[in-house]
Amino acid sequence: MVKHALLEVEGLKTYFQVDKQRVAKAVDGVNFSINSGETVALVGESGSGKSITSLSIMKLVGKPGKIREGQIRFDGKDIVPYTDKQMAKLRGSEMAMVFQEPMTALNPVFTIGNQLIETIKKHKKLSKEQAHQKAVEILKTVGFPRAEETMKEYPHQLSGGMRQRAMIAIAISCEPKLLIADEPTTALDVTIQAQILDLLDEMKKKFNMAVLLITHDLGVVAEYADRVMVMYGGQIVEQADVKELFIEPKHPYTSGLLESLPNLDDDVDRLGVIEGTVPPAYDFPVGCRFSDRCKFVKDRCRESNPQLLEKEHNHKVRCYLFE
């Protein structure tokens, strides 16, 4: 029997119809895979297409957005043609998501216990008492010392870190095979960030989950990811094992991101800066998406977009410099 990756994304294109003339190509031909028990980071600036990629995998892209092309194979089955009913069965039980801001993701009018029990009962054949007991156990697992009391509390009664833990508890309550964490520590202070990321890593190992970690924090990537995908302009521009990427980045955009990181060993007055901004998804350059900001740009770069090609073992890059 041929072993396949848990998640395989192939030729994914998610577009938004801005108006009659303009189409925003938020995700434009993305390919990648994730294996069970692996953490893959998706990094890039705001507007590069990271969150839309994750929402496409969960099939949560709202109108006017639409998956125009491509396959999303989960456990060997293409879920792009799945109906809302089929996806509702899959979400929560097989794949789950931790969103950026728990205060908007959690329902403010229901207790934490209500929201946990609802998720468990929807996907597991348990009585109300059994579901309650499982919910309490999960809250203890994610670090709530007063789990029984927390069951009766509302989201606004919890701190930011505890709300994020509650979100993780709901996400892992049915032991999904895939967990998507979209900027899970954005609004938290540094010590709480580390606790949340340690918790996600612990849950990954406990349940042998695949984790897609979406972030713009390269320090987090270095600490927690196995592989990294760098995204720019709706496309993956570089993909490599985490150590390889940090030691030998190839794409000028990846190099620019790494140069903008502070390093205590370097005696520099100013950090590196990538000039300009990410172009809007309805107005990408004709050639390479990064051509307007790249210091190595040549005429060819402005004429056609390079392919994402493997240059070394498991190291892919989308750049004419490496052809």
Residue 85's domain is classified under what CATH number? Answer: 3.40.50.300
pLDDT higher than threshold 70 for residue 4: no
**Percentage of the chain modeled with pLDDT above 70:** 96
**In one letter, which amino acid is 215?**
T
For residues 321 and 312, the answer to whether their CB atoms sit within 8 Å is: no
101 found inside a domain: no
Q: Give the range of the structural domain holding residue 314, as residue numbers without chain letter.
A: 7-94+177-185+208-322
pLDDT band at residue 267, thresholds of 50, 70 and 90?
low
User: Mean per-residue pLDDT for 293-322?
Assistant: 93
204-241: burial string, b at 16+ Cβ within 10 Å, e else: beeeebbbbbbbbbbebbbebbbbbbbbbbbbbbbbbe
58 found inside a domain: yes
141 found inside a domain: no
Note the pLDDT tens digit of each residue in 181-190. Answer: 998 887 678 8
201 found inside a domain: no
- 3-state secondary structure string across 162-193: HHHHHHHHHHHCCCCCEEEEECCCCCCCHHHH
299 found inside a domain: yes
Which residue in the block uniquely carries the two structure tokens 């900001």? 293
Closest CA to 320 of 303, 165, 137, 312: 303
Note the pLDDT tens digit of each residue in 158-212. Answer: 998 899 899 999 998 988 999 999 988 876 788 888 888 898 999 899 889 999 9
User: Per the structure, how many domains does the chain have?
Assistant: 1
pLDDT higher than threshold 70 for residue 268: no
Backbone dihedral region for residue 314 (phi beyond 0: left; psi -120 to 50: alpha; all else: beta)? left
Write down the pTM of the prediction. 0.91
Average pLDDT over all residues of the chain = 91
197 found inside a domain: no
Residue-level pLDDT at 1 = 35
Note the pLDDT tens digit of each residue in 18-30. Answer: 988 999 999 999 9
196 found inside a domain: no
Bridge partner list, 310: 316
14 found inside a domain: yes
The whole-angstrom separation of Cα 71 and Cα 90 is 16
